[in-house]
């Protein structure tokens, strides 16, 4: 019986090895040079599924050959917030809710972005929240509590970030300590644009680029944010891909979470559709370029969202979806992970959120 099973396994492996295309599809054939990590904050399976019912065309999610699930529990509670969630991804350490780039003992831990820069890669961060908000902050800063957004901003000029785009201008210019951080960013080599997502005639790797386009969060899609997220993603790729050593880019659809907190299905759906556009930009780049690992996931689910059948006078209508919510907060469900490119296969299975850090390193051949 055992030997029989072994024979089947060998046959499958040999057939696989003979089929180069199969190996390529799962990214088992080489190491990644670049990593694009896209985080849909609060995007559980129902939120991602909404793109299939309310979006236009086949969602980018469908283009991933490898799917996994991660467990989100932080160190101190059962349900995570975005700070502990992003810190698990960025440092490989599970931590307590509100922790930014620090472990459970508030010790600063090196992030994948910092490691990438040290190895000579270029780095970028994009968010539709303030750039100092929990998710992006966990990649470049280290503070015990997420609400220290002015302290987080003060760490950006010295952080090894080469491109950033998002909101949060007021944490740089209207501070309690009266400092203006814009000159400090410029001294650190940044060209900072606070009025529009204008692309320079030519991106130069000798320069760094920052866009701070709202006082705090960027406008909602429903309030005219337009193509900020997919366009900033494309701009970052145009710039970062000039680096022969590779790059690390994190892109966050920050407001899927905010729609969930508001139990506002339309808000969630518009933000998911926008996030999916950024996913497509990343995939299009990776497909052409060939050496890029694309990972899409969320930190946690928000709202306990469900794609329920509409109910009219106690009658369920299975032909009409009316999303419902079970909480104004986050939920504990496992979270999908989508992977494409070299190292994608590493993301199959069920694992802890902080394993995503090591899996990205493994994909890059750093581990
Ligand atoms: Mg976030
Ligand atoms: Zn939240």
pTM of this prediction? 0.94
82: annotated active-site residue: yes
327 burial (CB, 10 Å; 0-12 / 13-18 / 19+) is middle
**Mean pLDDT score, 13-30:** 69
CA of 8 from ligand 2 middle (Å) equals 47
Nearest to 353 by CA among 16, 163, 54, 81: 81
1 falls within a domain: no
What pLDDT, on the 0 to 100 scale, is given for residue 12?
Answer: 53
Question: What is the Å distance from ligand 2's center to 205 Cα?
Answer: 35
* pLDDT of residue 220 exceeding 80: yes
Measure 301 CA to ligand 2 centroid, in angstroms: 8
What is the CATH number for 44?
3.40.720.10
Q: Residue 18: inside a domain, yes or no? A: no
Ligand minimally distant from the alpha carbon of residue 255 = 1
198 occurs within a structural domain: yes
Query: Ligand 2 centroid to 80 CA: how many Å?
Result: 9
Categorize the per-residue pLDDT at 19 as very low, low, confident or very high, splitting at 50, 70 and 90. Answer: low
Interval 44-70: pLDDT, tens? 999 999 999 999 899 999 999 999 999
Q: Is residue 17 part of a domain?
A: no
Average pLDDT on 94-98 reads 98
Among all ligands shown, which has an atom nearest to the Cα of 262?
2
For residues 242-264, average pLDDT = 98
Nearest to 82 by CA among 141, 138, 38: 138
What pLDDT, in 10s, does the model give residues 204-217? 999 999 999 999 99
Q: Kindly state whether residue 234 falls inside one of the protein's structural domains.
A: yes
- Assigned domain for 6 exists: no
pLDDT higher than 90, residue 4:
no
Q: How confident is the model at residue 25 (pLDDT cuts 50, 70, 90)?
A: confident
Cβ neighbours for 221, distance < 8 A, ≥ 6 positions apart? 255, 270, 271, 273, 274
- The Cα–Cα gap between 130 and 127 comes to 7
Residue 45 lies in a domain: yes
Residue 19, domain member (yes or no): no
Distance CA 169, CA 282 (A): 26
Parent domain of 42: 32-364
pLDDT category, 200, cuts 50, 70, 90? very high
Specify the number of domains making up the chain: 1
Nearest to 94 by CA among 70, 112, 69, 73: 73
């Amino acid at each position: 019986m055992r030997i029989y099973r072994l024979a089947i396994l060998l046959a499958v492996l040999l057939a696989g090895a003979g089929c180069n295309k199969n190996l390529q599809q799962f990214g088992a054939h080489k190491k990644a040079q670049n990593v694009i990590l896209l985080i849909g904050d609060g995007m559980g399976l129902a939120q991602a599924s909404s793109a299939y019912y309310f979006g236009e065309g086949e969602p980018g999610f469908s283009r991933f050959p490898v799917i996994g699930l991660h467990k989100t529990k932080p160190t101190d509670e059962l349900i995570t917030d975005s700070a502990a969630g992003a810190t698990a991804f960025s440092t490989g350490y599970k931590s307590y809710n509100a922790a930014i780039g620090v472990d459970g003992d508030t010790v600063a831990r090196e992030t994948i972005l910092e490691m990438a820069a040290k190895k000579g890669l270029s780095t970028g961060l994009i968010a539709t929240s303030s750039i100092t908000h929990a998710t992006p902050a966990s990649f470049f800063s280290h503070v015990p509590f997420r609400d220290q957004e002015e302290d987080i901003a003060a760490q950006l000029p010295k952080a090894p970030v080469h491109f950033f785009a998002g909101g949060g201008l007021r944490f740089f210019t209207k501070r309690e300590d009266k400092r203006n951080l814009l000159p400090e960013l410029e001294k650190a080599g940044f060209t900072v644009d606070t009025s529009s997502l204008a692309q320079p005639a030519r991106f130069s790797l000798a320069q760094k680029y920052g866009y701070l386009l709202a006082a705090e969060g960027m406008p909602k899609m429903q309030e005219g944010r337009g193509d900020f997220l997919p366009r900033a993603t494309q701009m970052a790729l145009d710039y970062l891909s000039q680096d022969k050593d590779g790059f690390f880019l994190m892109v966050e659809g920050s407001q899927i979470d905010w729609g969930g907190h508001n139990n506002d299905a339309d808000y969630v759906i518009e933000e998911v559709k926008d996030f999916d556009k950024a996913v497509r930009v990343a995939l299009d780049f990776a497909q052409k370029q060939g050496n890029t690992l694309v990972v899409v996931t969320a930190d946690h689910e928000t709202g306990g969202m469900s794609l329920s059948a509409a109910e009219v006078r106690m009658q369920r209508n299975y032909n009409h979806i009316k999303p419902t919510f079970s909480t104004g907060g986050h939920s504990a469900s496992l979270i999908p992970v989508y992977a494409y490119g070299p190292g994608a296969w590493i993301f199959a299975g069920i694992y802890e959120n902080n394993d995503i850090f090591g899996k990205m390193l493994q994909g890059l051949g750093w581990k």
